[in-house]
């Protein structure tokens, strides 16, 4: 891996990538919000579109399924590499105070999970980031071994799960009763998440090896200067592998492979597609191209990624759940697709507008600012305690 320059440099491509990843997770998760039975209904395949809307729903869901989660995971790995480079530039040891950052992200994730979103990814990223922060202190060869082992473990688990799903009869499930998503209060839904904590955190545990690998791949790609103009060959190879090869296979699995194909796509081909997407965005801006209207909108969201991720889930919860406006329970097979598409467009527009207005006055998003201030306070207190112990 080529050594990183120590001088700071801002890449517009990173802001655009983060924004695309955040709005892409919204495009994935919004179908869960507009399901009358929430995540349970989404997993069981109930509440889907009917008639001519059914194939439209399948295609729209497949467009986002797993790909933007993979892109977001790669972006977290790039973020770790940037923080490591920043520490080296200031002459600080790594991981240094990063465990405090991971702890704060875990707190954000737990609050977000219990209050609003049972499919939160922040808690998983907190654990993964803590592991990878220490892995980055090892040599390149050791890191590649980590990537290979993590991918091997993930591939083995995924193969077993796909095999089990392909040979098992379709699950028979009745309606969710009582249904806290449609009929419960805000606190009923919080209690539901507490009662089903193990079920709702299964994905986080399952994808931990994959997340470790993608974090490290993201860090390696940043170290390989994938964002720089002279790395066009690397970007083209990733675009071919991810967009020309993996993307058609991903659609074939998702649209025609049943539940087993959906699983194989989400956790198998989709991360490869995410690499192609990352390379494509990096290639667009590698030569210093200024973002257009869409790029600027994505960059606003990307610069306030944590705040926008939480805000989009709060807004969708208010609109869709019974304790709010209860939209999901009012939808049926003929209205769920157009309503979901409109809701996505409205929420995405709100995120872009709010983040743009916020960044006119502030350097960071609101949650980013709170996290930064808390991190400064914690690391300052930690340093002061170490000085006291050293003096004593």
pLDDT per residue of the chain (392 residues) written in tens, 0 to 9: 333 443 445 689 999 999 999 999 999 999 999 999 999 999 888 889 999 999 999 999 999 999 999 999 999 999 999 999 999 999 999 999 999 999 999 999 999 999 999 999 999 999 999 999 999 999 999 999 999 999 999 999 999 999 998 887 766 677 888 999 999 999 999 999 999 999 999 999 999 999 999 999 999 999 999 999 999 999 999 999 999 999 999 999 999 999 999 999 999 999 999 999 999 999 999 988 899 999 999 999 999 999 999 999 999 999 999 999 999 999 999 999 999 999 999 999 999 999 999 999 999 999 999 999 999 999 885 554 454 444 44
pLDDT of residue 174: 73
Direct distance between the N- and C-terminal alpha carbons of the chain, in angstroms, rounded to an integer: 43
DSSP string, 184-247: S-HHHHHHHHHHTHHHHTHHHHHTHHHHHHHHHHHHHHHHTTTTSGGGHHHHHHHHIIIIIIIH
**Residue 296 within a domain:** yes
**Residue 131 within a domain:** yes
Contact assessment for residue 136 and residue 93, using Cβ atoms and an 8 Å cutoff: no
**Residue 77 within a domain:** yes
**Residue 326 within a domain:** yes
Contact assessment for residue 351 and residue 311, using Cβ atoms and an 8 Å cutoff: yes
pLDDT of residue 382: 54
Contact assessment for residue 97 and residue 372, using Cβ atoms and an 8 Å cutoff: no
pTM over 0.85, yes/no = yes
**Residue 17 within a domain:** yes
**Residue 103 within a domain:** yes
Range of the domain at 87: 12-387
Q: Give the C-alpha distances (Å, rounded to integers) separating 237 from 10, 253, 271, 276, 283.
A: 24, 23, 15, 8, 11
Phi first, then psi: what are they for 178, rounded to 5°?
A: -70, 160
**Residue 6 within a domain:** no
pLDDT of residue 10: 66
pLDDT of residue 166: 85
How many separate domains does the chain show? 1
Closest to 312 in 3D by CA, of 357, 258, 348: 348
pLDDT of residue 229: 93
């Amino acid at each position: 891996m080529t050594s990183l320059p120590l001088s700071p440099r801002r890449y517009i491509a990173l802001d655009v990538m983060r924004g695309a990843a955040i709005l892409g997770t919204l495009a994935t998760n919004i179908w869960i919000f507009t399901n009358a039975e929430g995540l349970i209904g989404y997993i069981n395949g109930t509440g889907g579109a009917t008639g001519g809307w059914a194939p439209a729903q399948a295609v729209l869901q497949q467009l986002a399924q797993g790909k933007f989660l993979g892109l977001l995971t790669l972006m977290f790995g790039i973020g770790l590499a940037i923080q490591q480079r920043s520490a080296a530039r200031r002459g600080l040891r790594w991981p240094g105070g990063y465990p405090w950052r991971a702890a704060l992200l875990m707190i954000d994730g737990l609050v977000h999970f219990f209050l609003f979103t049972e499919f939160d990814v922040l808690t998983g990223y907190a654990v993964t980031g803590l592991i990878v922060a220490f892995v980055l202190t090892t040599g390149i060869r050791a890191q590649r071994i980590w990537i290979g082992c993590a991918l091997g473990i993930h591939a083995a688990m995924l193969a077993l799960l796909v095999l089990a799903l392909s040979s098992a009869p379709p699950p028979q499930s009745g309606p969710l009763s009582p249904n806290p998503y449609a009929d419960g209060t805000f606190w009923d839904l919080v209690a539901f998440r507490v009662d089903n904590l193990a079920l709702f955190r299964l994905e986080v545990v399952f994808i931990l090896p994959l997340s470790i690998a993608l974090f490290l791949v993201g860090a390696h790609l940043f170290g390989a200067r994938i964002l720089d103009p002279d790395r066009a060959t690397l970007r083209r190879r990733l675009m071919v592998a991810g967009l020309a090869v993996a993307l058609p296979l991903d659609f074939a699995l998702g649209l025609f492979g049943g539940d087993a194909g959906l699983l194989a796509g989400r956790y198998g081909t989709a991360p490869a597609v995410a690499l192609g997407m990352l390379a494509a965005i990096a290639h667009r801006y590698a030569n210093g191209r200024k973002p257009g209207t869409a790029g600027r909108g994505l960059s606003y969201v990307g610069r306030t990624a944590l705040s926008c991720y939480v805000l989009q889930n709060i807004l969708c919860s208010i609109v869709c759940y019974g304790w709010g406006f209860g939209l999901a329970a009012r939808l049926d097979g003929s209205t769920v697709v157009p309503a979901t598409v409109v809701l996505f467009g409205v929420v995405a527009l709100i995120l872009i507008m709010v983040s743009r207005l916020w960044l006119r006055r502030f350097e960071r998003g609101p949650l980013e600012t709170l996290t930064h201030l808390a991190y400064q306070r914690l690391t300052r207190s930690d340093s002061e305690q170490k000085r006291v112990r050293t003096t004593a």
